[in-house]
Every structure is written in C-alpha cells, then in structure tokens.
Amino acid sequence: MTDLLYGPGQHMAGSDMSNEDAMTYARNSFPFGNYCIVRDWIWIDLDVTDEQRSELAKTRRHPVILFAHGVVIDSERRWDIGDFVRTSPLHIFEEGFHFKTRHTVYLLLGAGTRKQASAETVARIF
C-alpha cells in the first residue's frame, strides 16, 4: 500500500490552474455544486476480472478510481481542505482534468501519477 500511495508511477498532467482560478472555474462550470478540487492525485487502474468489468460497464463506469492526497475544496463539504479522498469508480473523463464519478466531478490540478492496483489493495485505503 505504501508503494501505491507514495511510490513512483506514470506521470499524468492535470490542469495548471491556480487554486483560486480553479475555484472560480468550478463555481462557473458547476453552479449547483458536486465538485471537488484536488492536488497530488493518483489515477488508479484497478485489476479486475472480466465479470467485474462487465458489472461496472452495466452502470457505465470504468475500473478506475482516483486517490488524492490533498483536497483544495469540496463543494459539498464532505472533506476539509487538506484531507485525502478516494473516489468511487470513474464514469467519464473529460477536458483532460475532469474526473467524473456518478455524483461528483473531481478537478485534477497539477501533476499526478497513474498506477495499477488490485481492488483489495485500494479497499484498504480509508
């Protein structure tokens, strides 16, 4: 788990917006909320069986989750500034930095990493 959270991975780029610009962007783009702006994030491709992949596909989700070490702001106040967050599976990835789950858009700021892990390993992340 330590390697997953802190080890090297494939570099990915999020938006280069400042925190303040991202907050303005989010408020304008998602006026009804349900967004969370994050930094220091990890895109995790889940090792799943064909059956698990099929079950996710039935609900138009992908075997990918996001873990972020740093919440900048959460519109619903589920997490405080600086908290970590683990998402539910990816629904849609858009604009090169919009990681959308079924209920929330996570805006990825700055550099991130892409890694692969089992669902069991990811489930151990609180």
Could you tell me the pLDDT band of residue 8, with boundaries at 50, 70 and 90? confident
Res. 18: pLDDT tops 90: yes
Task: Kindly list the domain boundaries of the chain, sorted by start residue.
Answer: 2-123
pLDDT exceeds 70 at position 126: no
Amino acid identity for residue 15 in this structure: S
pLDDT surpassing 90 at residue 33: no
Q: What is the DSSP string of 2-69?
A: HHHHHS--EEEE-B---HHHHHHHHHHH-TT--EEEEEEEEEEEEE--HHHHHHHHHTT-BSEEEEEE
Structure token digits, residue 35: 């967004």
pTM above 0.75, yes or no: yes
Question: How many Å separate Cα 82 from the centre of its chain?
Answer: 15
Q: How far apart are CA 109 and CA 126, in angstroms?
A: 22
Best CA proximity match to 116, nearest among 62, 54, 50, 46: 46
